[in-house]
Structure 1
């Protein structure tokens, strides 16, 4: 059955959803090769966004509430792939992803909530496999640059050495720009869920929480400050490592463990060399411990939610988004000691300017470039579902670069 829309952007009146709609408009237009629509719960706000972006009344808008299961079924029946920016997904994502899995509609989101993902994977796998829906979580800054960075480096190692890298370090060198308000809201929702379900803490601490039935070797302790010999710099904890690490290990598992069942992945932030680098690394580790402690208290979370999180429709301005950037270094070593390094660079701030491009191009890659015989229905990571095909698309269209670092 032919569907009227290639893409539907659910949550188009939110800050990130609006950026996704703007990117679709400026890159692919309206009424052109990509047939798309905006969806949300408020018709007036949808029409306002449509007008402010200069889209014209010819762009369809669909009114639907995230908690309305029947309306979600109607929505997903009209589109090949849904982009959803409506988080926290553990609060607002259940009905939409279930509807996609049952209807055979592809789905991409910005989820960085491993507790919710771990719960949804076994619920969604069977219906998605039966319907042909490809469900792909974490298609923003978490976790595409990291997931694809490891996949790219491993591919290059196989080409050069004929063997996988048994250990890979992901090291954030540059990050100009911030995380989205949705990332912070998801963190707070996860912490509150831990208060209701104490077992969730074990899930969050487990690097293999998203690989049901498989537990790999002990991984590095990335919560401390330490000297990174491979990178030649001090390093400290990186706030997104807990979700990115789980997705990297899931990619390896979904591909049948081509990097080995003993694969080890470490993800940290580089802080520099010498005494100043050491001091920054130790401060980062100390601040991370303090923040985690404070966030465990309900009153602290309430204050953050009230005063620190961006309000609906708020975020960095265009100048800040366009002048942000990031760079991640990946260094790996084979079982016999051969090393290889690669970099992944993005040309906008990670939380908004780059993320809106990443998720849009991931949706188009999934629906247009990836054959269902190669990636059948099921719950996927970007690296396992689209791999280097997506990396090539992002390099051509979305301001990312993947390159081997020469000695």
Structure 2
């Protein structure tokens, strides 16, 4: 088979996050052929503007394709080893590109945080991707890499240090400076509307095993929708907005790996709010806030107002200074069947929705293209934790400002 001209194509490069991915690629890999990459989108003039804005010259190719043009997408993906797409919401715009990659044997990564759509894509394209060798990998940004890989890392260290897996893992978000991206909010709004149209989508959102068809896991999974005191962390905890997405990806990773942590494995993801009465008030406030938001999002005019006034316009987002001021920190802890404990810390060095996400997605795509042979990870629909595991942990630790460490 002739070599493909590009290692990586960034699809959606004229959007705000796509432009950050292109900027990161140019700053760290240039256009001298070390990594052969191109940017793609619908409008040649806007692609040229992005190329100029990031400081690249005509050595950076511009490729044209519309997210709804099957023929153009087929021609596009045949040119790349992996396509990284920032064009969402994926439930509205994503399936044609997934189909094109699955059919052509081209690897695919995205930033999807839309579990109901992912649950629909898994049975539709797993067999095709397995036949062609395409590795379709969802959720390669802040949702859900730090969480998915945090569990993989902690379990790896548990086996190495303790000789046994942890029967459950608790993830506690200790620091969060910066917010979700406009794309994440747009995906949330699209998900709410899908849930109102289809009761099955609502059931999938409530099921921690929605991405593992046929598996129910342990009978009692943690309830993340309440305020609760964490005796291990010595702090109150409340709901974390990304937990319904991350939990599903963690359980899918475990299933794809063959359940090495046991069929009774539990995963509990929450936000730390502090100790004492103050911490309890914040935790209960998060519960109340989540309930109010859910009620408001179910109201059509509220969603219309959010789209009109709250969402960043195309090409908009936080300033460079705001992105660089952001950071996050997550504590992972668990214990073996005989009660031995282990804790890990995962830290990100930029705001989660943009500054960190663009680095995570880029390095994940390059890891899949260059570090993971198909003899190790064959074609199929994957999570990053199952497809790349500790290889990706090490790459992100070295290159993407995502640090992993054991807390002694």
Give TM class, smaller chain.
Answer: over 0.9
CA distance in 1, matches of 2:201, 2:399: 38
Superimposed CA distance per residue, residues 242-288 of structure 1 (whole angstroms, 9 cap, x where no aligned partner): 00000000000000000111000000000011111111000011100
Of 350, 373, 376, the match for 1:374: 376
What's the counterpart of residue 56 of structure 2?
A: 55
SS of the residue aligned with 1:305? Answer: helix
For this pair of structures, how many residues does the alignment match? 406
Q: Secondary structure at the match of 2:14?
A: coil
Distance 1:392 1:93 in 2: 29
Q: What is the alpha-carbon distance in structure 2 between the residues aligned to residue 358 and residue 72 of structure 1? A: 24
The aligned counterpart of 1:300 is 302
Query: Secondary structure at the residue paired with 2:112?
Result: coil
Residue of structure 2 equivalent to 1:108: 109
Q: Which runs of 5+ in 1 are unaligned?
A: none
Does 2:394 align with 1:392? yes
In structure 2, how many angstroms separate the alpha carbons of the residues matched to 1:191 and 1:183? 12
Per-residue CA deviation, residues 40-67 of structure 1 (Å, 9 max, x unaligned), is 0111111111111111122110111000
Separation in 1, partners of 2:246, 2:195: 20
Is 1:330–2:338 an aligned residue pair?
no
Is 1:267 matched up with 2:260? no
Take 1:194 and 1:243, find their aligned partners in 2: how far apart are those partners?
15
Q: What TM-score do you get using the length of structure 1 for normalisation?
A: 0.99
Aligned residue for 1:84?
Answer: 85
- The 5-angstrom pairing of residues 240-279 of structure 1 reads 240-279=242-281
The aligned counterpart of 1:214 is: 215
How far, CA to CA, are the matches of 1:31 and 1:72 in structure 2? 26
Secondary structure in structure 1 of the residue aligned to 2:252: helix
Distance 2:5 2:197 in 1: 42
Partner of 1:289: 291
TM-score by length of 2: 0.99
Q: How many angstroms apart in 2 are the aligned matches of 1:390 and 1:125? A: 22
Alpha-carbon distance, 1:209 to partner: 0.3
Range that drifts further, 392-401 or 191-200: 191-200
Q: Distance in 2 between matches of 1:305 and 1:230?
A: 40
SS in 2 for 1:223: coil
Partner residue, 2:137: 136
Alpha-carbon separation, structure 1, partners of 2:59 and 2:174 = 44
Deviations 1:166-192 (A, max 9, x none): 111000000111110000000000111
- For the residues of structure 1 that align with 2:337 and 2:266, how far apart are their CA atoms? 12
Unaligned runs of 5+ in 2: none
Equivalent positions of 1:159-170 (< 5 A) are 159-170=160-171
Q: Structure 1: which 4+ aligned runs deviate by more than 6 Å?
A: none
Match of 2:348 among 326, 338, 346: 346
1:355 paired residue number: 357
1: CA distance, partners of 2:42 / 2:120: 26
Partner of 1:404: 406
Give the corresponding residue for 1:147: 148
Give the corresponding residue for 2:322: 320
Shift of 1:195: 1.7
Query: Which residue does 1:230 correspond to in 2?
Result: 232
- Aligned to 1:121, the other structure's residue is in SS state helix
SS at match of 2:155: helix
SS in 1 for 2:199: coil
